[in-house]
Amino acid sequence: MLIKQFIAFTTTNKFLVEDIITEIGRILFYRYRPPPDNILNEDLELIGLYIIDLDLSYDRRITYLEPDKFYNITSLNLTNNMRITNTNISLLINITSLNLRNNKLITDSSLSLLTNITSLDLMYNELITDSSLSMLTNITSLILQDNKLITDSSLSLLTNITSLILQDNGLITDTSLSLLTNITSLNLRFNYKITDSSLSMLTNITSLNLIYNNLITDTSLSLLTNITSLNLYVNELITDSSLSLLTNITSLILHGNRLITDSSLSLLTNITSLDLMNNNKITDSSLSLLTNITSLILQDNHVITDSSLSLLTNIISLNLMDNHVISDSSIYLLYVHCCVAAMNVRTKYEQFNKSYFTYSNI
């Protein structure tokens, strides 16, 4: 009701009203999520034409979207939405990004009509099938985490995909994945279907997530030399053999990793972001060589010492939570060499933080 009252208050000047509404659309509602209690359908319709990105996740108040009032929407989030139906969105043909995570109302009948979609989230979705997905050949980003309906049949047709999440997915196999050679970002966390057979074909990959993956080995990873971001959190298959070849890596997560050693890490001198949380394999020997690091996580790390940390003078983000090895001496050196105002040092000692910032005149 607040929006309607605001507009009524300004109706003495037609042009002023139009200018204000335009500014509201441009500034406030370009990315819009209805407030908790005070927005109803009639209120939302007043600024509908100015909304491009609409978030109705978990919403229980907005019951419909008139196509003639919301046709400018290009991004729509209907996660856990129990109001908006097929009738509401089937005519919103300008949508390019759609989130149907755990959605219980939208079905194939409407989705098949939204052929401009390039980004689609079907995580936990139990309604959308291959029937409609196969029609959306413009998709470049697809989330199939915990999805139990989509199969190789439709995925194999979506050859424009560049980003794919198959976390906890038990249906998609090498058959379809091997055809998606345009993929640059792939998430295989907890995936128990995809093997080296298909991954070795995806040489354009730059970002790969292998958290708790028990199928992908050095055989395929060694071929993905374009990788710049790699997550090996608690991975028990990838070794120094393949990692040493991925010299383009700039972001690496070795949280809890027990296989990767100094032998390979010392060669990855392009790394700018490194996670060594709870890691007892990597030592000062290799870390001291990675002088391009700007972001470092040493949370719960009991191996890395001041010896190497003091040499990483490009660091601007440092996590030392639950770290009992790093002392004030190396932190002080980093403050001396770095832009102090940009430092984001996290430790478990709040008192230390406060006193140190005071000392540094921040």
Based on the domain organization, do 169 and 283 belong to the same domain? no
Yes or no: say if 287 and 261 are a contact pair by the CB < 8 Å rule: no
Q: What are phi and psi of 317, to 5 degrees?
A: -135, 120
Pick the last residue of a domain from 186, 210, 227.
227
Residue-number span of the structural domain to which 212 is assigned: 152-227
Query: Which CATH number belongs to the domain containing residue 317 in this structure?
Result: 3.80.10.10
- Find the mean pLDDT for residues 127-142: 98
Domain count within the chain: 2
How far out from the chain centre does Cα 45 lie? Answer: 31
**What would the pLDDT profile of 223-272 be if each residue is shown by its tens digit?**
999 999 999 999 999 999 999 999 999 999 999 999 999 999 999 999 99
Burial label, 134 (beta-carbon count in 10 A; 0-12, 13-18, 19+): middle
Based on the domain organization, do 281 and 187 belong to the same domain? no
Based on the domain organization, do 182 and 252 belong to the same domain? no
Based on the domain organization, do 348 and 304 belong to the same domain? yes
The closest alpha carbon to 210, from 250, 181, 182, 239, belongs to 239
**What would the pLDDT profile of 38-58 be if each residue is shown by its tens digit?**
556 776 777 777 788 999 998
The DSSP secondary structure of 247-263, one letter per residue, reads TT--EEE-TT-SS--HH
| pLDDT in the model for residue 73 | 92
Most confident of 40-49, 107-116, 326-335: 107-116
| pLDDT in the model for residue 37 | 53
328-337 and 350-359 are packed helices; what angle lies between their axes, rounded to 10 degrees?
A: 40
- Find the mean pLDDT for residues 126-136: 98
- Find the mean pLDDT for residues 90-96: 94
| Residue 360 lies inside a defined structural domain of this protein | yes
- Give yes or no for residue 15 having a pLDDT over 70: no
Residue pointed to by tokens 């043909």: 93
Q: What is the CA radius of gyration of the chain?
A: 25
| Residue 57 lies inside a defined structural domain of this protein | no
Q: Where does the pLDDT of residue 88 fall: very low under 50, low under 70, confident under 90, or very high at 90 and above?
A: confident
| Residue 4 lies inside a defined structural domain of this protein | no
Burial label, 127 (beta-carbon count in 10 A; 0-12, 13-18, 19+): middle
Q: How far apart are CA 322 and CA 295, in angstroms?
A: 17
Based on the domain organization, do 239 and 220 belong to the same domain? no
Give the SS3 label for residue 93: coil
2-9 and 14-23 are packed helices; what angle lies between their axes, rounded to 10 degrees?
A: 140
CB atoms within 10 A of CB 197: 15
Yes or no: say if 21 and 47 are a contact pair by the CB < 8 Å rule: yes
**What would the pLDDT profile of 275-326 be if each residue is shown by its tens digit?**
999 999 999 999 999 999 999 999 999 999 999 999 999 998 999 999 999 9
| Residue 5 lies inside a defined structural domain of this protein | no
| Residue 136 lies inside a defined structural domain of this protein | no
Q: How far apart are CA 319 and CA 333, in angstroms?
A: 16
Q: How far apart are CA 58 and CA 81, in angstroms?
A: 5
Burial label, 177 (beta-carbon count in 10 A; 0-12, 13-18, 19+): buried
| Residue 173 lies inside a defined structural domain of this protein | yes
